[in-house]
Amino acid sequence: MTDPAARLRTLAERIIEVYRRHMPVDAALLAGSGARGDADAYSDLDLLLYGATVPPYEAAVAAQHELGAGEAIAILPHGEQGFLDQFPLDGVACQVGLLSLADVEADLERLLVAHDGLGTPLPKIATGLLEGVPLHGERVIERLRERVEHYPESLRRAMVEHWWRFFPLWHLEASFASRDAPLWQQEELVNAAYALIGTLAGVNHQYFARFEFKRERAFLAKLNVAPDRFADRLLGLFSSPEPVLDLERLVAETQVIVERELPGVDVSLRRPPGSRQEPRPA
């Protein structure tokens, strides 16, 4: 049986060859599981093409027609920044698009210098460049990759400042018990889990986007500076008999880590771990 990752790479190379017959392509990057090598029978194909100019969308339609692809869905409609389509080909869902090099470089500037878009999928661009496999235009990809290989100290701080926000479940747990709000509590547990991951990603010089966050344990394993047994404890929140208490401990331990690793970053909380809401006198 063909290795799924190898199959995706072969399919990507075929798509690049056809697209280049219909439009100028300066570089091509295989991203996602096909690049990491952890693809399985359900994996889709993530292929990013880069160009100095954005061709007419008709060129992409012609390329898809030559490939014999199924009907395409526009994920990013054609515009000055480029386009991104999803279409079926040989039983694989393929996400293929061409992005303007100038816009990609501007997005990296936003992320690395202005620290804008930290709560958007933008950090996935940086992750994709680091994990991806260049299949065409290696020098162009290398130039982009060099931008994200150095993780600025200012970005570490900006990441923590962006993600360090928690709804104080520990403070309000007693009142929650009488409010019949298990769905709300579960939602806030998820939000808190992402906040902890984003905070520790910054501490550990890692790019993180909540958008379509997958392969959780592999990412959490990169967070070397973290509370003890962080992955097990974080993911265990959703099966724990005392999830709020477990969350409170993780927040308190992460707070200590940030204060040690990034002195001067304000990680105070209005209702910190250990605080409890007092009922009003009857």
- In the block, residue with structure tokens 């995706």: 8
All structural domains of the chain with their residue ranges: 4-150, 154-261
CATH for 4-150 (3.30.460.10, 3.40.980.10, 3.40.50.2020, 3.40.50.300): 3.30.460.10
Question: What is the pTM (predicted TM-score) of this model?
Answer: 0.92
φ and ψ at residue 67, rounded to 5 degrees? -70, -20
Instruction: Output the tens digit of pLDDT for each of the chain's 282 residues.
Output: 479 999 999 999 999 999 999 999 999 999 999 999 989 988 999 999 999 999 999 999 999 999 999 999 999 899 989 999 999 999 999 999 999 999 999 999 999 999 999 999 999 989 999 999 999 999 999 999 999 999 999 999 999 999 999 999 999 888 777 778 889 999 999 999 999 999 999 999 999 999 889 889 999 999 999 999 999 999 999 999 999 999 999 999 999 999 999 999 999 999 999 998 888 776
What burial letters (b/e) apply to 196-220, b meaning 16+ CB within 10 Å? bbbbbbbbbbbbbbbeeeeeeeebb
- How far the first Cα of the chain sits from its last, in Å, is 71
Distance CA 126, CA 115 (A): 13
Residues 204-224: tens digit of each pLDDT: 999 999 988 988 999 999 999
Distance CA 242, CA 238 (A): 9
Distance CA 34, CA 218 (A): 16
